[in-house]
Chain A
Amino acid sequence: MSRPDPSACLNLSSSRTRQLLVGGMRQDFPIFEHPMRGKRLVYLDSAASAQKPQVVIDTVQRFYTEEYANIHRGVYELSEEATQIYEGNREKVRRLINAREIREMVYVRGTTEGLNLLAATFGRQRLGEGDEILLTEMEHHSNIVPWQMLCEQTGAKIVVAPITDDGALDMDAFEKLLGPKVKLVSVAHISNALGTVNPVKEITRLAHDKGIPVIIDGAQAVPHIAVDVQDIDCDFYVFSGHKIYGPTGIGILYGKAELLEQMPPYQGGGDMILTVSFKGTTYNEIPYRFEAGTPDIAGAIGLGTAIIYVQSLGFDAISAHNDKLLNYGTELLQEIPGLRLIGTAPEKVAVLSFVMDGIHPHDIGTILDSRGIAIRAGHHCAQPVMERFNIPATTRASIGIYNDKSDLDALAEGLREVRRMFG
C-alpha cells in the first residue's frame, strides 16, 4: 500500500483525552471550518446525526482511490484486499460492543433496517395470534412501526410500558406488563427524544427470567457510553454508523450466534446463498445469510475507522465530557424564563429537549438557525413521547464530542433573543 492507514495514528493517548475534556474535538472535524449563515457553526444536533472526523473521510476516500473492488467475488488481489478490510472491520465492531464472536456482527443499513430485519425474521418466526410484544412509550418510530407491521401479519399485539413525569421508564409497570403472553421485548438503550438511559441489564434479566428474548435499540447509546452486550446479556443489539461519527448507510445488527443461526434469511440474493438452482437454494452461514447483495463496503470501512477514532478518546473521557456539558447546559437553560425541560431522568445523556411558553419550536429553530446554531425542532420521530407530555413538539439540543461550553453559551444567548422577540 502506498499510503499508511489513516487510522493508524490513533491510539488512546492522554493528550487526546485531555483535549476532549478541555475544549472538545472540533479541530478533527473539517465541517467546522465552514461558516453557517455567515457565522461559526454551532452544531447541536448530533442525536440526529453526527459530523465526521477527517480520519473517517480520509479512510473512505483512500478506499475509493486506492483499494476499491467488490468483495467476496474477485479472485484478483484488489478484491481480496477489499474483502479483507471489509471483513476485518467486523472485529472492530465486535470489540466496540464486546460481543463473543465476529460472526455475530451483521452489517445492515442502520438501526431501522436492523429492527425491520428482526421483525421480518425472528418476529415472524416466533410470534402468533394473541402474543404480545412489549415496547416502551419512549421508542423511536423505527422501534414501533416494524412491530405494528408484524402485528398486522400475525395477529400479535403491542403493549407499551409507560414513562414517568421526568422521562424515566416506569420499571414497576414494566415488570407488571411482562406477562405470560409477552414473547418479545424491544427497548431503546437511550431515548433520542429525552436522553433517558434505560436500565437495559435489569430489563434483560427480568425478561430472561421469564424466557423472553430482548432486543435493544442502541442507536443513541454507542456514541456516548461503553456498551457490553455480554454484560447486558441482550439477545440482539442494533445501531447506526452515522451517529457514532461514521458514514451513513451502514449499521450493525448484533445477535447471539445461536439465535441468528435459527433465523430464516431476510432478503434473497447474492452472497446470502451457498448454492442456487431452480430446484432449491441452500443458504449461507451467519452473518452472510442476512447480507444479500453488494453492501455499503466503503461505509463499513469508514465505520471501522470511526470506531477506532472514538476508542482513541476512550469512553471514560467521552462520558465525562458529556456529563459536564449536560450539567452546564441544564443550568443555563433553567435560567431562561418560561423554559421547561422535557426529560430530566436521573440517568441521562446530554440531550436537552425543551419547550418555551407560547413559542413554537419551529420558530425557535429558525431564530437559532439565523445565528448559525443547528438544533432539531419537532417530534423527533417519537410522537408517543410528545403525546405523553401533551405537547406537539420540542426543541432539542444534543451534544457530540466536538461541542464545548461556548456552544451552549451561544444556545442560551439565542434563546434569550427568542424570548426578547416574542415577549
Chain B
Amino acid sequence: MGDLRDLYQEVILDHGRRPRNVGNIAPPCSHADGYNPLCGDKLTLYLRIEDDTVSDVKFEGAGCAIFTASCSLLTEALIGKSIEEANELCRRFVAMSTTPVEEECDTEGLGKLGVFAGVREFPARVKCATLAWHTFENAVRGSGESAQTE
C-alpha cells in the first residue's frame, strides 16, 4: 500500500490550488472539451500550434485537486514541444497512470509528472488524472469531439 503522500504530494497540492495557464486563447488553433461524468470534472483545452509545435496551451475547468493539477502540469509540460513529442508524452502519461499497482510503472522522462503514479492506488481517481491528456489528444486531432472517460 502506497502512502497517501505519494499521491497528494506538494506538486499536486500546489498546482491544484494555483493552477498555471488558466484561461482561453482567442482565437485558438484548436480546442476540445473533456468531461468525467462520474466526478463532474470538466474542462475546455485551447491550443495554439505553430510550425508543428505546441506554442501555447490554456485551460478552463473545474474539478478536484488531482484533476486541476493534471491540467496545470499538462500545460507546463507540453508548451514548446513538437506535436510528435507532445503526443508521445500523452501516451506515456496515460500508460503510467493505468499500469496495474502490482506492476512496476515507467516514469522515465516524465519528470514531475511521475507523482501521478500514486493515483494507481485509488482506481476511482485515475480518470481525474488522465482526462486532460485524452482531451489534448482530441484537440490535436482537431476532431472537435469531446473526451469522456468511460
Over the window 130-143 of chain B, the binary record of Cβ atoms lying under 8 Å from chain A Cβ atoms (1 yes, 0 no) is 00000000000000
Give the distance to chain A from B25, nearest Cβ to Cβ, in Å.
25
B8 touches A392 (CB 8 A): no
Chain B positions within 8 Å of A369 at CB level: 122
Given B16, B17, B40, which contacts A393 in the complex, CB threshold below 8 Å?
B40
In the complex, A360 has a CB within 8 A of chain B: yes
B13 at interface (Cβ–Cβ under 8 A)? yes
| Most B C-beta atoms less than 10 A away, residue of A369, A370, A379, A423 | A370
B7 at the interface (CB under 8 A from A): yes
What residues of B have a CB within 8 angstroms of the CB of A392 in the complex?
A: 40, 62
Are the C-beta atoms of A360 and B64 separated by less than 8 Å? yes
Chain A residue with Cβ nearest B65: A363
B110 within 8 A of A: no
Across the interface, do B65 and A359 meet the contact criterion of CB distance under 8 Å? yes
Closest Cβ–Cβ distance, residue B95 to chain A (whole Å):
22
- Tell me which residues across on chain A come within 8 A of B16, comparing CB atoms: 363
How far does the Cβ of B13 sit from chain A's closest Cβ, in whole Å?
Answer: 7
Q: For the complex, is B39 an interface residue (Cβ under 8 Å from A)?
A: yes
Tell me whether A38 and B1 are in contact (CB under 8 A). Answer: yes
Q: A379 to B36, alpha carbons, bound, how many Å?
A: 13
CB neighbours of A37 from chain B (8 A): 1
Residues 1 to 50 of chain B near chain A (Cβ within 8 Å): 1, 4, 7-8, 13, 16-17, 38-40
Chain B minimum-CB-distance residue to A392 = B40
Q: Given A37-B1, A369-B122, A421-B13, do A362 and B8 touch, yes or no (CB 8 Å)? A: no
* Structural contact, A366 and B125, CB atoms closer than 8 A: yes
Known: A379-B40, A392-B40. A362 touches B128 (CB 8 A): yes
Give the interface size bracket for A toward B. 10 to 19
Within 8 A of B (CB), among A395-423: 421-423
Q: Is A378 interfacial (CB 8 A cutoff)? A: yes
Q: Shortest CB–CB separation between residue B35 and chain A, in angstroms?
A: 12
Q: Kindly state whether residue A225 has any CB partner on chain B within 8 Å.
A: no
- Rounded to whole angstroms, the CA-CA distance of A210 and B8 in the bound complex is 57
Please pick, from A362, A379, A421, A423, the residue contacting B64 in the complex, using a CB distance under 8 A.
A362
Nearest CB on B from A41, distance (A):
15
Q: Please, how many angstroms separate the alpha-carbon atoms of A37 and B3 in the complex?
A: 10
Is there a chain B Cβ closer than 8 Å to A358's Cβ?
yes
Contact B8–A421 (Cβ < 8 Å): yes
Q: Across the interface, which residues of A come within 8 angstroms of B65, CB to CB?
A: 359-360, 363, 422
A362/B125 in contact, CB under 8 A: yes
Alpha-carbon gap, A37 to B16, bound state (A): 25
Question: Chain A, 222-259, contact with B by CB distance < 8 Å: what is the 0/1 string?
Answer: 00000000000000000000000000000000000000
A363 and B4 in contact, given A378-B39, A392-B40 (Cβ under 8 angstroms): no
Given A379-B40, A421-B8, are A366 and B122 neighbors across the interface (CB < 8 Å)?
yes
Taking a contact as CB atoms under 8 Å apart, the answer to whether B4 and A370 are in contact is yes
A363 B66 Cβ-Cβ under 8 A: yes
Measured CB to CB, the nearest residue on chain B to A421 is: B8
Q: List residues of B whose CB falls within 8 A of some A CB.
A: 1, 4, 7-8, 13, 16-17, 38-40, 62-66, 121-122, 124-125, 128
Q: What 16 new A-B contacts, CB under 8 Å, besides A358-B17, A362-B39, A362-B66?
A: A360-B63, A362-B63, A362-B64, A362-B125, A363-B64, A363-B66, A366-B124, A367-B4, A370-B122, A379-B40, A392-B40, A392-B62, A421-B13, A422-B65, A423-B13, A423-B17
Query: Closest 5 A-B residue pairs measured CB to CB?
Result: A360-B64, A370-B4, A362-B64, A363-B65, A363-B64
26 A-B contact pairs sorted by A residue (CB < 8 Å): A37-B1, A360-B64, A362-B39, A362-B63, A362-B64, A362-B124, A362-B125, A362-B128, A363-B8, A363-B66, A366-B66, A366-B124, A366-B125, A367-B4, A367-B8, A369-B122, A370-B4, A370-B121, A378-B38, A378-B39, A379-B40, A392-B40, A393-B39, A393-B40, A421-B8, A422-B13
